[in-house]
Amino acid sequence: MAKQYWLMKSEPDVYSIDDLAREKKTYWDGVRNYQARNFMRDKMKIGDGIFYYHSNAEPSGIAGIAKVASQSYPDPSQFDPKDVHYDPDSKKDSPVWYLVDIQFVQKFPKLLPLEALKGVKGLEKMPLLQRGQRLSVQPVSESEWKMILKLANVKD
């Protein structure tokens, strides 16, 4: 299986790339969208590349790189009645929500703002740039991955 690439959104006020850089590794809990879950549960493989995207930020944009650090497993927060992500419909023997661990790779020297991605030839198909797109876990093609690394002035 060839290496695949992803983009994952996080609000930096909640958990930023600096938080990830400090902790080195975290688990991506709280995703409650089926499409995003399916990518994590069915598609992600250890070692896949992840663009770490800051949403609801000033400015919003890609902040750096992480990588998938585990197979998918059930999101523990769905079983915890005290957790905001608690899902009373989910049962332990048939969990609804899955997540993966992600590991810090590098922070971009400068955040690559969303604005800088718009209008770039070769990136126009990215879900991120589609009007109204809110998916928090998205696939990125290899060519998009390489172009963005170039724009950010970093090597993989």
Q: How far apart are CA 54 and CA 127, in angstroms?
A: 15
The residue among 33 and 153 lying less far from DNA, judged by its C-beta, is 33
Residues that bind DNA (CB under 7 A): 9, 11, 33-35, 55-57, 60, 114-115, 130-136
CA distance 123 to 118: 8
**Closest CB 100 distance from DNA, rounded Å:** 18
- Whichever of 34 and 46 has its CB closer to DNA, that residue is 34
Residue in the structure block whose two tokens are 């989910």: 90
Residue 136: φ, ψ to 5°: -90, -10
Closest to DNA by CB, 57 vs 65, is 57
CB of 156 to DNA, least distance (A): 23
Q: How far is CA 83 from CA 23, 35, 113, 155, in A?
A: 21, 22, 32, 38
Give the shortest CB-35-to-DNA separation in angstroms: 7
